[in-house]
Structure 1
Amino acid sequence: MPSTLKLCLLLAALLQGVLGAPTEAPLTENLAGDPSGEEGELTPDLLSASGIWDRILSVTEDHQKEFEAEFQNQVKYHMLEDFNISSLPESCSYSNLSKEACLQKMVQGLLVYKALLKHVEKEYPSNSKILDARLNCGRLITVIRENMKHPERLTELTSSQEEQLLKEINSPYTFQRRMTAHSILFQFRDFLLKGKRAIKKREKARGNVVPIRLNYQAQN
């Protein structure tokens, strides 16, 4: 029957169209992303994938154990959250700043922490990891600067500014100085983790690759 033949031809055409149509690749990455910023993988030439971050963070790996061993549970570790130091810089927010502004904020913050780590070194001179962290701060600053569009807009700390920073957190009381040192390490870890996550978000969401340049000089 003609009507049956037409129906068969129509179905055959539809099937051919469906089977021959190109298949769209599934969207595997949500650009809004998980707040943890851990979705997907990053290539090793991205700034957020540099091993320098972990080398600096290693100074805080056993921080809680070291703190509790020193104070013998007379002071709880979580109290460091409320031990405020006005000079501690904030990390860049991965939702409000451009990549360039984020990198600039990270460098300015690292310059402050690099100076404040001298206070920690003074209180715990036998801890070689603190010196390593300070030196690696200089290296991370160099890497970020070399990958900025306008590194000339950065402002270095003068010797008098650094001296003033250290003077403000100094105290005649050992307990106060030690708590300040531990608070610097506590907040430093948070600063680094948030900053690394912020940079990673920008690299993933916008495809702005920040290549690692390894020909830097160690900075004291």
Structure 2
Amino acid sequence: MELIGRGRDADVYALTAGRVLRRYRSGGPAEAEARLMAYLAGTGFPVPHVYDANDTDQVLERLEGPTMLTALRRRPWRVAAYGRVLARLHDRLHAVPAPEFLPPSPASGSGDRVLHLDLHPDNVVLTPRGPYLIDWRNAAAGDPACDVAMTVCILRGVELSPPEALGTRILLRALLRTTHTDATPGYTHALPARLSDPNLTPEEARRLRRALGG
């Protein structure tokens, strides 16, 4: 199989035309993710179609198009527009009631909406049908403010060149101005949850604390 993507927890391989295999390297909630994606697809939210899943693997629809991160690097002048796309994805997702099988998370606060909790440009694929949201490992039920705040926490901790840092500030400003959710109360849960993430490097944690006062 051809390796076509590699994340912190999982690898993605090309299968037959139109399908990919997403495999967790050390085990993961593949079946739980697949169940949630099927639920979201039933509400009309843009997620890849799930063909099969077990404890570690998912066979998914292959989405055609770049990630938003790739598109930003190609067309940085569209950064504010992409921030508004992130806002609309948050708002669409937070209109969806959490199913009974979706557990709450320490990062999610109280609430009954579906939260992604990893909604950033590298998890958005810009297809001809519109943006699709991928990688649902961290999803939980909770307060939408925590989801928007987590996006801010993720992006403010990333190491960037000065032009990229400016672009990120513009992206986040557009996101926060466009979304219907006030992120402010969400930092109470999102910031400590992000700082406790074992995948976070010490340098990322330092930048995040400096940016948000954690």
Give the TM-score normalised by structure 2. Answer: 0.25
Bigger relative contact order, structure 1 or 2 (CA pairs below 8 A, ≥6 apart) = 1
**TM-score normalized by the length of structure 1:** 0.25
Q: Which has the larger Rg? A: 1
Greater strand share, structure number = 2
